[in-house]
Chains A and B, each alone.
Chain A
Amino acid sequence: MWYVTALKGTYWTYCNHSFLNREQSGYETIYLIHMEKMASLFSLTKEVISFLFVILNIYSEADLLVGSMEATSDGMLASPGVAEKGYFDLRMTVSTSGGHSSVPPQHTVSDHDDISVSHLWLIFILHLEHRYSCGFDCTTGGEPIHTPSIQRTTLLHNSSMSSPDWYQYGWGTSWLDREIKIQR
């Protein structure tokens, strides 16, 4: 039994059939669509159902984005993610000889260069954080950062630079004829 949670009721209110169960969730009407019933009712093939599944997901995704849009002075802004940062967890381990706290071994005595693992640990962490506080670019020397962190070649596709309207509202929505321009 396949169920797909999807869709705004606005688009599908005419589909008031037995394969459709309506629920209210937050602001939107959520429809549970019984795909098998739908397929038998309309004699649809699995391929068609699969296609519908994709379409429903697109609307569902769009609805999620609508729910997370934020208001700006010029209207609402939705930002589907087209890129994702990398990920790395580092495990740092310091090992030295220990000892009883009442009789600290020689290497932990403060007037020596060597210090205890606890002190070392603080030093390592503080040092790492200090080096990152000025950004990743400045780790190779004390020179000023010449390369801005915002790169034209990163999120901004090269071809976008040829367009004067890359940041304007309604980008690429001509298929709905709903393009809206910023009032400059």
Chain B
Amino acid sequence: MDEELRDLIEKSKYNDRALAALEKKLFAIDGLAEALSKTTQAVDIIGGGVKSNALPENAFAIVNHRIAQHRPVPMNNRLRNVDSDIHNSSVSAVKTHVADVLLPLAKKYNLTLDAFGDGLNATSNVVSSGRLSLAQAWESALEPAPVTPWIDNPAFDFLAGTIQAVAKTSKRWNNPDIPVAVAPGIMSGMFPPFTDNWIISLNSFSSKSGNTGKSISTIEHGSKHETDLHLM
């Protein structure tokens, strides 16, 4: 491990500046770590219009969000004593964020904004030019899962020990002396029916296969896809 990174990890346990520096360095090394640390957004489906010679009356997009595990309250909100629940990392926070971002645009273009069932007349005119609707697609909302305890947790210890034992006797490497680290990771979030960690939150560990490699983070760790469910 890079010595500077190792020192930052050590200092970050007690020092906020070191924690921020660790974040910066970690993100520079591994972009996937940044994505896993923050709420991400991807516009995945776009559609609209019915004919090549007709101006579309409707257009839609499906925007996929993976909601960060942490629940930070921005410093400026702390100072303003704003209700922290609104700005927590949650489904409601994402909804609030989206509505906050789009409301000024709806006003600018004289549209009525329907944000998740709350009709907001963003227009200054009596007659609006159109409508912007925001809704949840496919009943897909799922809050970030509670973090499974892993410090001084016999279940995690048992799994970690098993992993080490299996690795050391694996035919993959034929090396009983191979050093094996077991560190907690985070899942990137899945569509609710296929989620892992929500099943039993207190002692649920999920395996990850097809890792992308290159990550040196022991805080968070990426995967191309998730497999199976593990309960203890």
A residues touching B (Cβ–Cβ < 8 Å)?
8, 10-11, 27-29, 54, 57-59, 61-70, 72-102, 104-105, 107-108, 113-118, 120-121, 123-125, 127-129, 131-132, 135-141, 143, 145-157, 159-161, 163-164, 166-176, 178, 180, 182, 184
Contacts and interface: CB of A to CB of B under 8 A. Distances in A.
Contacts of A54: 232
A97 B105 CA distance: 18
A86 B144 contact: yes
Interface residues of B, number: 151
Contacts of B32: none
Nearest to B112: A95
B206 A80 contact: yes
B136 A141 contact: no
9 contacts: A64-B228, A66-B166, A75-B179, A78-B181, A83-B145, A92-B60, A140-B74, A154-B70, A157-B150
Given A66-B170, A98-B56, A86 B91 contact: yes
A77 B181 contact: yes
B72 A124 contact: no
A117 B55 contact: yes
Interface in B161-186: 161-173, 178-186
Given A85-B67, A131-B97, A160-B151, 7 more contacts: A27-B170, A81-B208, A83-B148, A90-B63, A150-B19, A153-B70, A178-B165
B184 A83 contact: yes
A68 B209 CA distance: 5
What 7 A-B pairs come out closest when comparing CB atoms?
A: A75-B179, A86-B67, A79-B185, A96-B130, A146-B75, A85-B189, A81-B206
B182 A80 contact: yes
Contact of A76 (B52, B179, B206): B179
Interface string B13-56: 11010011011001000000010111111010010110011111
A102 B209 contact: no
Residue among A66, A104, A108, A176 having the largest count of chain B Cβ atoms under 10 Å: A66
